[in-house]
A and B are shown apart, each in its own frame.
Chain A
Amino acid sequence: MVHKTCFHCGLDAETSGIVYDDKPFCCHGCKTVYEIFTIHDLTCYYDFQQAPGTTPKEIEGKYNFLDNSKIVDQLLEFNDHTTQIITLYIPNIHCSSCIWVLENLNKLHAAIRSSMVNFGKKTVRITFVNENLSLKNLVALLSRIGYEPYISLEDYSIGKKHIDRSLIYKLGVSGFAFGNVMFLSFPEYFQVEEFWLEQYKHLFRWLMFAYSVPVVLYAAQDYFVSAYKGLRSKILNIDVPIALGIVVLFVRSSSEIVLDTGSGFFDSLTGLIFFLLLGKFFQQKTYDYLSFERDYKSYFPIGVTKINLDKQEESIQVYDIQKGDRLLIRNEELLPVDCILIKGKARMDYSFVTGESKTVTKQSGDKLFAGGKQLEGSIEVEVLKSVEQSYLTQLWSNDVFKRDKTLGFTNITNRISKSFTLSILTIAMVATTFWLLTDSSKALNVFTSVLIIACPCAIALAAPFTFGNILRILGKNKFYLKNASVVEQLAQINTIVFDKTGTITVNKETKINYEGVQLTEDEEALLKSTLRGSNHPLSRSLYQILNTNNIVSLDYFEEHLGLGIEGQHKDHNIKIGSEPFIGHAKNATTLNTSVHIRTNNGYKGKFTFHNKYRKGISKLFNQLKKDYDLVILSGDNAGERDNLTKLLPSKTKLLFNQKPEDKLEYIKYHQGEGAKVVMVGDGLNDAGALAQSDVGIAISENINVFSPACDAILDATKFDQLYKYITISKSAVKTIKWSFALSFLYNVVGLYYAVTGQLSPLVAAILMPLSSISIVVFTTVITNLLGRTLK
């Protein structure tokens, strides 16, 4: 048989048997999308690439909360009761055909006026007429074509977002002024005593003055603010000499043209500010679609279904949930509050609260905690605590989450800035005193010249360009940093703490060992056939590894929830499950999860599930052990201790049964002893530790799926590269130190002119851009060379 894949999404379509228009489809969802596309003449969608869509996941009633007008009002960007505009976050946007489909939504439904994709942010902004299409139906339409929007509690609280574009405006103003001032000052560079030049130079000078005023007052204001803040907290940051240089440049230039003693330094002034802002802009650009500030709000749903006293279902906002309410939680829905199970059987997946991948089965009357995901049918629960008071949400009231990590950190530029500023002031004083004694007319000139030429433009540019470029290079290698200062902090660490589950182990795969009597071929076929009917995660993973091909149809099958499964074919029967279920004495010493097998021939043996470790972990730890202290903090039991001690270098500390608070305290304690800690983790259970550590790295199998608040996100496939990434950060800091040396050379040359009182506007206009540009070129070349070593 020819291997068939779904025409729409590319998944296996062998077993589904759905054929439409001579094309195989894996599910009715994909068929529907194909139909929609054919009807609306959009089939060239399929020309873009093979199998462009991704699997739609339809869940009945999932978007019922969009019937609640209060919730809808909060989500809409614009609403005049006929036309509505909404911006939706769609994690599935991943290629150019996604942009194309989403921007052609108006062909799928007449009520959609227009739609616009922002690929970087993975959002689509849709304008639609709500008389013909409600928001709920719009969302359903999007889900049906495979672009399910992600709506979380976070969208609710943010409201209408304000975009800060001031840096672009400032850059525009200074660039505009810089270009024009350059033109106007050009004639005077040549100092020709021409008649018309003499006549018009005053006009030219005043024009330059006019251009410079907005640059100094508007574009450069951040430097004044920052310098003022620095001085007030008694820190000589790099913005102090910059602000001083700008003020002196402006005052001296203005007085020169007023007194008609020279042409001023307006060209250098505007150029300086333009280059500085360019550096800022370069550093600021990061990854729009990755959020590093997530808390529980981005995981939580925005609305839930409440069951009223008269058994009516109603969608309510999550913040409106009160103690004592009855809620209906559907399959795949997340519990937003702590509650008691009333009706139905719950199988909760707490993986992003605890990091533990095993599901927990609960019976009615049991307590359920917020953050769990229901995996099996619908349940009814009674609320015990409101959202803010639930166990999970309280973790965020810890002070760690309010702390700004950059505050306590002095970056490399500011560290040298202090001695730099002091030495410049000393040089200026000494030179001025010297000239006061010899030729007092030149003293003021020399004093201002020193401050102008020493303005640390090149120094201030070195760090933004180096770190900005490193940030981009690491991003290309799937290591996404929150901002440039993370590179620097990463270069200083000496301790690395790892979480176990999901961080050094692989989430999806497990290693399964069989111990016991060899199964016969018939038994194996029966085992596989029985497992096929069960949806339990352990059954699924066991089913995947068995390579029997002949599936038999069972005469009898029953799943006992939380215990195991039973199957019969002809006169063979099989029981698969926990020890008590199959009637085997419980062995208390094993800590690992195992599944036991009994057939009508008696007890056969057990399959034991071991964690599967990421590729290259041993090598990575051996590379790291030379320079860093290594620790593993696990929330799990000690079942994997033996495996880990075999795998990892002997000096690695292993700690098990660590609660989220324990992890946080452990890191805090070691920081108190002077350690600079990197925490590598994944789930929400590591959120506290990630926030407390100097650099928190979240490991993610899929970067579009949410990871907790952190400083960096590392794609799981690049986990074994971590050592290289830390090394490159160290080299980046070294590069910056070299550029400081280089800019110091320029300063020596400049200071010679300044101290001897020969600084002309021409020298300044050449020296300042030259030093800045050569620093930018130097750092860019070096960092790109460093980036090559990664490949």
Chain B
Amino acid sequence: MSFLRGLRCRECGTLYPVDALFVCDECFGPLEAHYDETARNAHVTRASIAQGPRTLWRYHDFLPSEYTPRVDLSDGWTPLIRAHNLGRELGLRNLYLKNDTVNPTFSFKDRVVSVAAAKALEFNLPALACASTGNLAGSVAAHAARAGLPSYVFIPADLEPAKIQSAAIYGATVVAVDGDYDQANRLATEAAETYGWGFVNINLRPYYAEGSKTLAYEVAEQLGWRAPDCVIAPVASGALYTKINRGFEELYEANLISGPLPKMIGAQAAGCAPVATAFGKSTREIVPVKPRSLAKSLAIGNPADGRYAIDAARKSGGGIFSIPENAIAQGMALLARTEGIFGETASGVTVSVLKKLADARAIDPDETVVAYLTGNGLKTREVIENVAHTRIDTAPNLESFQEQFEPRVFVVA
């Protein structure tokens, strides 16, 4: 059952009914899902969760919607993998990877969209829509198709072609905006006021954001109901990072795990690192930037939840850090070569920040560390076109192959 009781302003605490609202009339603060936490914590057990489906909906008691099979593409419940090889490379003995590249549309966005789509149906909204850096567009389009709704996705026109195509195939109307993500987002915010559509990351945002908490629930359950010592996740708007933190807090409050709660590490790339910059300057006021990063899924120059991400970093004893742009592809290659997982640019950023901290001995080698891999590399192939690799060109016969191959293998004196 859902223990949702309404929406509440994060800044001033004003309460609102359950509806497609996202901003406080009083102070313009963000609205968040508000639950009867006492009733929920008395109700939910490890056993009640285990009875649920093997999707993120097994945690519906912590979500703002009932389980809605009509929108569930088997979202979430992705593998948590022990990373011996990458761990050896980085000097971390207990490293795990949460592999969200294998979600139905190949990114963690399926978690948030699944919840938002359920609310769109509940509110009887005529269409599903979003502003997107790409991954979200595909997920919205797919879930709208399953729910039988039309979809409209607002994207920067210069997005990777694979990301545009992987929204279009589901029948979405692609609105290609001549501008960056922040400008596409601004247009979508105005469109949300003009049309009655369910914009998952605008007027459905209080519900949508809750889906990211399942990344914490699953990791804890997969570790045998235990919190890791440290987690690392990419930071774009800061919503994912903030909600992972909230997810661990909720499990602790419900007595499903014991403390201490994980240190929260956030990862950005230098081409768009407003949150890491603010963290480094010990302020929570984010100065917006014009994104110039290869990691387009993280290229949000005006991050709505940046200040809350910084709060979570400080409170948990973690931090938010950036790596140079040339470390993005290096991180992708390191991950793929050591663990056989082809993550997208955001995963390259995450792995490279983890490497930077491990190299600096900022993480204890014996700590249990979980790195969140949030999207699939096939959508961002452009950035690895020039990755160093071994290639042998040969005629279709053994002699030619040997001629080309053997000089590389045997050192000729």
A and B are partners in one complex rather than unrelated chains: no
* Residues in B lying within 8 Å of A, measured CB to CB: none
Which residues from chain A sit less than 8 Å from chain B, CB to CB?
none
